[in-house]
Amino acid sequence: MEKVPTWYYPRMMPPPVSETTATSPHAELFLGNMRALWQRDPQLALRLDAIHDDQRVPLQATRSGAWTAVRATPSGADVYLHSRYDPVAEANRLVDAVDTDDKYCFVVSGSGLGYHVAALLSRLRGDAFIVCSEPDEALLATALTCVDLADAIGEDRLIFITDNDKPRLHRRLRSRNTLIMLGAQFVHHPPSLRIAESAHQAISAAIAEFVTYTRMTLVTLVSNSRITCENIAMNLARYMTTPPIDQLRNRFAGYPAIIVSAGPSLSRNIDQLAELKGRAVLCAVQTTLRPLLERGIVPDFATSLDFHEMSRKFFEDVGDLTRTHLVAEPKATWHVIDHYPGPVSLLDNAWARSLIGDELAARGGLKPGATVSHLAFYLAVYMGCDPIVFVGQDLGYTGHVFYVPGVEIHRAWRSELNRFHTMEQKEWERIVRNREILHRVPGIDGGEVYTDELLLTYLEQFQNDIAAEPRRVINATEGGAHLRGTEVLCLSEVAEQYCHRKIDPDLFACPKNEECHDGTRLSATKRQLEHRIDELGGVIEMCDELLGLLRELDNLTDDPQQFNRRIVRVDELRTRIQQQSRGYKIVNSFTQFAELRRFSADRRIKAAENDDAERARQQIARDIDFISGVREGAQELSPILRRALDRVSRARVPS
């Protein structure tokens, strides 16, 4: 969050403290801490400011002059938050045992009176920060009267979490995603755990799930960036000749949508979907097409975003798809987009815009989907559907199986089956392979169900999406994990309550768009790709010159005069890069790993305590590594764009 300008304070908050606070002996510390907190977390600041002096935790002086306090455990036993002799020395001993090397996020369970938090802050370097959980807001307000934490709070290096509300936690931490992914460590304050163990465990679990969600999201982004960009480039011809989704906006306002996913519980109610055809908008993920069409159920929409060529198997020999509208992200493999027999709409894409320009590439889009199920949900929202109903959205291992019977993977396993090796055993092996990343989560039936880190990531994303969506969302999955924010009904109840009206068949007609028949758009796309290929050649040339200069500078770090002379040319090249930033942005999207390595190296350099010469050497090494990655990315991207150019040159507008 950006700092709130000082002129905005009077409009944002009430008077910062009460009269009783202003006259307390710790008023100055409290005021300084609260000023910083108002900037970063005004909702928490408002709650803490409402706590009067007599509601705070009574303090006791210690021999060292610092403070301690007593709190009761759930069993009624009294526990001192800190030493009665020297709380600061005790805090230092606790923190001395914490490994702060190459860690950027420290999750501290329990604020106490803040001594160990301040001690840990003093040891952090660079951009490292602390997330401190404290469910006792009266205690937290008291801590802000004891220790000066204003700078850390104001710089957002100290974040307080007081409950396990996941949407609020995600909003508070999402700006720190990359740092959290680079290294997070949990630190426990033992007295705090004795006093409120269950509350701290709940908050720690929510934070741990956020760490998992962050890591999986960023790792997927980085590892898939190259194939994602290749697919987008290969799909440019279809991008320009297929209608956008613009005319689908609110087309089905007030009608229910059913999102059909491939969880194992889909087998319990899949046959009911036939009766709902035409009375609800059926949005199926690509993995469910075969089991649906085998039962004669033709979905109205299908979604696709998987980058791997293998996903074309979901569409081959499954039945008649000419009446099913495929809505796909351009990052989906072109092997699906090229051969899909029915209507296709490709969504707006930022990297496509960077390749061919906003004017040519602009079209309606949806929020990027983590999975095809997320994409189907966003599509239903876009089309105005209400309510939105999930079936087969287990997000866990219902009945200790992974898939609904009849999906493509089951066909692939057939050759391995015999009386000693059953389909059920194959399903169980698929789950057990992930034993190291299995988690228990609340089930839809009130018990618990196993899930894994990847499915847990999808679960968190769905819960965030549902929390942000005002319309009714119903979970009719009849198995799997509990989806927070949904109403739980069985599919027959959904049919009885919401599926009364027949939907006009004309509403399902594919959107018409005259631009798809405009041949000049393909010609303009071809010219834009030719420009991008030329720009990549310029990127490679500048990278070569920069690498030569950087290696020369690496030998001049002990000669400041010569170093400063040569750095002038580096600055000139940096200016040229800024002037020709489009080519670099395209390459950086293609090679996200180089960007992540540079970000990580920056954090290590910032955290290190080196002299100027050593810092310069580290920065040069970082830049050589990064520029080498950019050059390699430009070299790999050039032939991909040439292939895309060839596909656009051979493309024909639809008749």
Domain check: are 173 and 282 in the same one?
A: no
Say whether pLDDT at 44 is over 90: yes
Domain that holds residue 27: 6-218
Domain check: are 281 and 392 in the same one?
A: yes
Cα dist from 539 to 123, 374, 553, 582, 647, whole Å: 41, 37, 21, 10, 24
Final residue in a domain of this structure, among 494, 515, 536: 515
**557-566 tens-digit pLDDT:** 777 777 777 7
How many other CB atoms sit within 10 Å of the CB of residue 424?
11
Distance from C-alpha of 384 to C-alpha of 45, rounded to nearest angstrom: 38
Q: If you average pLDDT over residues 573-585, what whole number do you get?
A: 71
Domain check: are 476 and 589 in the same one?
A: no
Residue 400 lies in a domain: yes
Domain check: are 504 and 546 in the same one?
A: no
- In degrees and rounded to multiples of 5, residue 57 shows phi and psi of -75, 130
Query: In the 3-class helix/strand/coil scheme, how is 347-398 assigned residue by residue?
Result: CCCHHHHHHHCHHHHCCCCCCCCCCHHHHHHHHHHHCCCCCEEEECCCCCCH
Secondary structure (3-state) at 54: helix
Output 519 or 520, whichever has higher pLDDT: 520
Say whether pLDDT at 102 is over 80: no
Residue 229 lies in a domain: no
Say whether pLDDT at 186 is over 50: yes
Residue 552 lies in a domain: yes
Query: In the 3-class helix/strand/coil scheme, how is 506-544 assigned residue by residue?
Result: HHHCCCCCHHHHCHHHHHHHHHHHHHHHHHHHHHHHHHH
Percent of the chain with pLDDT over 90: 45
Domain check: are 481 and 566 in the same one?
A: no
Residue 202 lies in a domain: yes
pLDDT value of position 433: 59
Least confident range from 5-19, 35-49, 84-98, 462-476: namely 5-19
Q: Tokens for 511?
A: 């959107």
Secondary structure (3-state) at 235: coil
pLDDT value of position 2: 34
Domain check: are 421 and 342 in the same one?
A: yes
Final residue in a domain of this structure, among 515, 546, 574: 515
Backbone CA torsion sign across 46, 49, 55, 59: positive
Secondary structure (3-state) at 102: coil
**Res. 83 pLDDT band, cuts 50 70 90:** very high
pLDDT value of position 577: 66
Q: Tokens for 549?
A: 């200069």
**Res. 57 pLDDT band, cuts 50 70 90:** very high
Least confident range from 259-273, 415-429, 473-487, 578-592: namely 415-429
Residue 16 lies in a domain: yes
**Res. 418 pLDDT band, cuts 50 70 90:** low
Q: Tokens for 456?
A: 């847990």
Per the structure, the count of domains in the chain is 3
Distance from C-alpha of 328 to C-alpha of 239, rounded to nearest angstrom: 10
Residue 224 lies in a domain: no
**350-405 tens-digit pLDDT:** 999 999 998 888 888 998 878 899 999 999 999 999 999 999 998 877 655 555 55
pLDDT value of position 426: 56
pLDDT value of position 450: 74
Residue 253 lies in a domain: yes
Is residue 348 within 8 Å of 525, Cβ to Cβ?
no
| Average pLDDT taken over every residue of the chain | 83
Residue 223 lies in a domain: no
Final residue in a domain of this structure, among 515, 550, 584: 515
Say whether pLDDT at 409 is over 60: no
User: What's the residue count for the chain?
Assistant: 655
Domain check: are 436 and 548 in the same one?
A: no
Domain check: are 282 and 419 in the same one?
A: yes
Least confident range from 37-41, 482-486, 609-613: namely 609-613
How many other CB atoms sit within 10 Å of the CB of residue 502?
9
Percent of the chain with pLDDT over 70: 86
Secondary structure (3-state) at 152: helix
**532-552 tens-digit pLDDT:** 999 898 888 888 888 888 887
Pairing type for strands 301-304 and 448-452 reads unpaired
Is residue 169 within 8 Å of 210, Cβ to Cβ?
yes
Q: Tokens for 425?
A: 């055993």
Say whether pLDDT at 127 is over 90: no
Domain check: are 345 and 254 in the same one?
A: yes
Say whether pLDDT at 293 is over 80: yes
Secondary structure (3-state) at 341: coil
The string of DSSP codes covering 587-654 is HHHH-HHHHHHHHHHHHHHHHS---HHHHHHHHHHHHHHHHHHHHHHHHHHHHHHHHHHHHHHH----
pLDDT value of position 604: 73
Least confident range from 245-249, 315-319, 420-424, 509-513: namely 420-424
**Res. 406 pLDDT band, cuts 50 70 90:** low
Strands (E), 244-346: 257-260, 281-285, 301-304, 325-328, 344-346
Domain check: are 510 and 528 in the same one?
A: no
pLDDT value of position 561: 74
Distance from C-alpha of 645 to C-alpha of 45, rounded to nearest angstrom: 56
pLDDT value of position 619: 80
**Res. 440 pLDDT band, cuts 50 70 90:** confident
Is residue 146 within 8 Å of 67, Cβ to Cβ?
yes
Is residue 610 within 8 Å of 200, Cβ to Cβ?
no
pLDDT value of position 432: 58
Say whether pLDDT at 331 is over 80: yes
Q: What is the dihedral of CA 161, 164, 165, 166, to 10 degrees?
A: 100
Burial of 379 (0-12, 13-18, 19+ CB in 10 A): buried
Task: Kindly report the pTM of this predicted structure.
Answer: 0.70
**237-272 tens-digit pLDDT:** 999 988 899 989 999 999 999 999 988 888 888 999
pLDDT value of position 655: 62
Is residue 102 within 8 Å of 132, Cβ to Cβ?
no
First to last CA, the chain: 51
Query: In the 3-class helix/strand/coil scheme, how is 429-471 assigned residue by residue?
Result: HHHHCCHHHEEEEEECCCCEEEEEHHHHHHHHHHHHHHHCCCC
Say whether pLDDT at 616 is over 50: yes
Q: Tokens for 117?
A: 């938090």
Domain check: are 198 and 275 in the same one?
A: no
Is residue 147 within 8 Å of 113, Cβ to Cβ?
yes
Domain check: are 471 and 553 in the same one?
A: no
Is residue 367 within 8 Å of 327, Cβ to Cβ?
no
Least confident range from 197-201, 398-402, 555-559, 570-574: namely 398-402
Is residue 326 within 8 Å of 304, Cβ to Cβ?
yes
